[in-house]
Every structure is written in C-alpha cells, then in structure tokens.
A and B are shown apart, each in its own frame.
Chain A
C-alpha cells in the first residue's frame, strides 16, 4: 500500500473525538429529534382527525334520540274522524287528525288571534296528526273522548329546545319567531312541553319530516341485502378458494384467475354499480331498488376479499394434516372437507365478517341500482323497494331540514355500532382460534 492512498483514512484517526465531531453530532441529534417529531405529528393528526370525526358525529347525533313533545288536550270527535260513520278505521279521514291537533292547540292558547294562528300552528309538527291517528288506531276506545296526548313539536321548535339552534340569535336569523319562543316558554312553564325518547327513530322508515323519519326500514333493507350477499359470496368464495388452494394445477388459466381476483379487489366500487345496472337491471330486467340485486352486486364486490382471506386460512393449515388424511386413504375432496376446511373455518369466518362489515358500509354501487329510492316502509321481500343504512345516511345528509343533521349523525352512530360489533366479533374469533402449529 502506498502512503498517498493510506493518507485520508489515517489522517482522520481520532477525528471522532474532536470538538468538530462533537458539534456535528449535536446537529445530527437535533435533526434526529425533528424527524421523530414529524412522525409523532403525523400520527397525532391522523388520530386527531378520527377523534374529531367521532366527536362531531357524537355531538350532533345524541340529541336525535330525544324529541320535543307538546301536551295537548285533543277532542276526538267521531263526526270529524269517521264522517261515514262505519266505525271501520279504513274509512277514517286521516287528514282530520291534524285539524283536531290544531284545534287543541288553539284551545291551549285561547287569546291568540285568528291572524296569529298560522304562526301558532307552526309550533307543532305538521305530521302530529299521524302520531295521533296511530294512537287512536291502537286504542279505538279513545274515539269520542277528550284525551291528553304528547305530540311532537315542529322541527324548528325541537331544534331550539335542544339548543341546536341558538335562541339568542336575532329573530331574522332563526326559523323561530320571538312570539313562538314566548309560547314555547309558556308551555314549558305549564309543564306541557318536554323532551321524550324518540322511539320513532328506531321504528319508522324514511320520511320527509324529521319527526317522522326512522331507521327501521333501512336496517331491514341492510339485513336483507347482507343476507343475499352472505348466501352468495360465502359459499362461492370458499369454493373458489378451495379450488385455487387445494386442487388447481399451476397453469396459465389459474394464473389468470389469480390476477383477476387481485385486480377485482381494487376495482372502484361504483364500477360494480355500473355492472349491476347494465347487467342485472337493464339486461335481465330485475327490479330497481331491490335488496336481491343490491346483495348480488355487493356479493361480487366481496368475493375477492373472501377468496383472499379463505386462501390465507387454508394455507395456514399445515400440510402434515393433509398428508395424514391422504395417507389413511381419504380422497382429496374428503381430506379437504373433513379435515382442512374445519381447521380453516375460523379464519374464513373472520375474513367473511370483515368483508360483511365492508359490505354494510357500501353506498356508491347501491345508488346505481336505485337503492336511494324514497321508501317509507321496510321491505317485505327480496324484490320490494328498499333502502339500506348507508344510503339512508346519504339521503338524510342531503335533506335541507335542520332536524336531519342530527338524524344523519345518529344513523351514523348506529351504523358504526354495527361495524364495531362485527369487527369485534372478528377480532374475538381470531384471538380465540389463533393457533400455533
């Protein structure tokens, strides 16, 4: 070795203990610290957003479980309700209930002039008559009597009472007039107004009126849709996974299937909606808005997820088990059916539940096949018009009335509860059946 080339290295011997090196080291540590802080900031931001999202939903949503009600003394005049006098509820004049409600309201505030009655009427829900009608239907003996009933207040009043609209705002900026506020305060003083549990939210279906709108229809719709998805996607997905993992020869064709499955998993969901619209609705002429079609579209979407999860579960079963079964003279199919599949089942189920949770939140493809129809009753079958939970959320998020903001948030809370439960079950299953071979 020549001296010249040995120089730079030897010259630096001891450099690491010099003042200059120490100084540089401090700078390097400062950079290190900064970099670490970027990471912490990134995580904090991401989690902060999650917290903000959940908090926003919670804050906006909790009030939806309460509904402001007003107590009125309603005189249920049979001549008005049952003008034909048949006594058959089918012949009742449903619109008359609202008039009775209004009359009761005028009685409650006898000094209100005729001119102000319009404003007074706006205190009570425009569909209070429906609630009254339902009560009378349940208990026809009320007919002909004067009863005291709690009826929902109108949406603006409801929002004021819950503090979702600030009553200190200038009159022009709020949907409730000073006069109405005064009436409201009178009612409250008399104990004729309070907030009650909003059971409608859990029992009714969609409506144009927030007081009358509920989640039940779309929950049933989601259950029907997911049932179809599950019935189609689980067996097909598992069968495909079993074939690809246990039987398929390694050739061009199975490669093609594999590539296909991987790509399908990344196709935008709305494209599946287009597929459903073009093939199921337009070509095969299936009905719009039906849980059957929705379930089929989502089944196609979920298939890749289920196949991939099932294959992973099958792969985790050690070959020794197959060898043992085959060695005892079982056929390949028997081996898979009796030994491999049962062992892989927890993994498959976990994957399936996760796929179902995704399916439950799926919205865009269902819009394409018309599941955003305005449906005021739960579906009665797989072919009847229906909405689903996330689509209901979308529809309500679009609605102009103030009351729908809280309903949307509450619906999201319910949806998230379903999702958390499903994922919780999946995690539990995974933990419980986690196996070290």
Chain B
C-alpha cells in the first residue's frame, strides 16, 4: 500500500464536514507471536465523536482498541506495525512516553475492575499519580465531578469510603468510567463496557456516553447492534482482522456497502 500522509483521510465526506482528526491509524498490523490478528487497518477517529467498533468475535476489535493506548505492550508476544497517531504524535514512536499516552487515552474494560480500595481512592488514583491535584478539596471536587459525570454520584455519595468492590456490577462499571474520566483524558476507549450489565444499567451507560462526547472522544467496542446505532456517530465493521468498512452509523446500518457487513448486521452470521 502506498504511504499516506496524515492530511489524507480515508473518509473524504467527513473531512468535508470540517471534522478534526483526533486519532488515526494507517496500515496497522498486529501480531501475536507468529499469528497476525490485524491485517492493516486504516481509520480516522474524529474529535468529540463516538466511534463504534463492531464485528464477529475474534475479529480483532479489542486488539485494535488496545493498540490505541499501547495496552498491548503488557503482552509479551504482541507486536505492532503501521502508523498510529494521536493528534500529531506517533503513538509507537520509541521516544513517546506510554504513561503520558495512557493518561491522554483512557480505557474502560469489558469486565468492571475496580481496585480493592474505597470508592474515593479508586477515583483519585489516577489524578494523584499524574499530579492533577494536590489539595484535599481539589480531590474532593474531582471525585464529585467524575462521579456526577458517570451518573453514580447520587448512589454513592454517602459511602465514598466503602470499598469499590462492594458495588453492584453496573455501579462498578460506572465507577470504572468515573475513574477513567477523573484523569481528564482526551480519548476514552471502551471495550464492551455493557456486556456484563442488565438493560437498565446499560441504558444508564449509553446515556452517559452520549453526554461524555461533549468533552471527550470515545471509541467503543460493542456486540450489540442497537447499542452501536444508539450511541455512535460512526461505525467501523471488522471481520477476520480486516476493517471491512467504516462510515456514518446510519449509512452502515441502513445501507452497508459490503455484503459481509450486511450479513453481520442482519444477523446472518456472527
């Protein structure tokens, strides 16, 4: 494939609409040992939009998500090729600092993973590390703001010092979202954040994602078509390590260009 410059976008329509590219991927290939999990992904992620990644299980959605903040570094056998950019920074530049990158690109995981600490400490964990605040009242403000944002404040404001692991699954996931927001990232990556939740909690989080879009750029992996349709502006369909197509969510769901996409969203396979 011909090398592309960053000004070129894969989606001319969007560029025309005056959207700003927050992150971009060109020819991203990911290997687990000898096995190639992604075969060259080209996609742009625009500022203040929600991009949904959909596709059958094992097609590489999580893998792609994890390359965006280099969480793949924690897997020994994993190797990444291609060009990934955050604003004008190369994510895989050896000089780039992963700690800073992950502070800017936060992540929420499929299974809620609160630390075995109090709710309060869970939230201030990130801000404390990064020195976002120093005084107690600043921390208090961050805790309240993040929990408000995550829609959890009213449920937990009287028990901030109780362990985060004592919350319900849905609450835990919102706590994890609050924890990610508290660091003031620019991008939030979410890997099937609702897969362990009941419909009410899911609705809660979907609402939340929509609100968060105002300040953040969000990439969300989901297996739920309705969810993708509800929360995202754009959708990318992955299949067997390839990005089959990406575009406005509405277009993808009403008028898919590729028959594999068509098959998947109409439930013929997956």
Interface residues of A (CB under 8 A from B): 1-2, 5-10, 12-17, 20-22, 24-25, 28-29
Contacts and interface: CB of A to CB of B under 8 A. Distances in A.
Contacts of A13: 184, 186, 215
A12 B148 CA distance: 16
Contact of A28 (B129, B144, B148, B186): B129
B215 A9 contact: yes
Interface of B: 97, 99-100, 103-104, 129-133, 138, 141-142, 144-146, 148-149, 181-182, 184-186, 211, 215
Contacts of B132: 12, 15
A16 B130 CA distance: 8
A16 B181 contact: no
B156 to A, nearest CB: 14
A25 B97 contact: yes
B148 A25 contact: no
Given A8-B138, A8-B141, A28-B99, A1 B148 contact: yes
A8 B145 contact: yes
B141 A21 contact: no
B181 A9 contact: yes
Top 8 A-B residue pairs of the complex, sorted by shortest distance between their CB atoms: A12-B184, A5-B145, A5-B148, A24-B131, A8-B141, A16-B103, A8-B142, A8-B145
- B interface, over-half SS: helix
A22 B97 CA distance: 10
A9 B179 CA distance: 11
B100 A1 contact: no
B214 to A, nearest CB: 9
A24 B145 contact: no
Contacts of A22: 100
B131 A21 contact: yes
A6 B103 CA distance: 18
B103 A9 contact: no
Contacts of A16: 100, 103-104, 130, 184-186
A19 to B, nearest CB: 12
Contacts of B185: 16
A328 B172 CA distance: 51
24 contacts: A1-B148, A1-B149, A5-B141, A6-B149, A7-B141, A9-B184, A10-B184, A12-B132, A13-B184, A13-B215, A15-B132, A16-B100, A16-B103, A16-B104, A16-B186, A17-B100, A17-B104, A20-B131, A22-B100, A25-B97, A25-B99, A25-B100, A28-B99, A28-B129
A1 B144 CA distance: 12
Given A5-B149, A16-B104, 19 more contacts: A1-B211, A5-B144, A6-B145, A6-B215, A7-B141, A7-B145, A8-B133, A8-B138, A8-B142, A9-B146, A12-B132, A13-B215, A16-B103, A16-B185, A20-B131, A21-B103, A24-B130, A25-B100, A28-B129
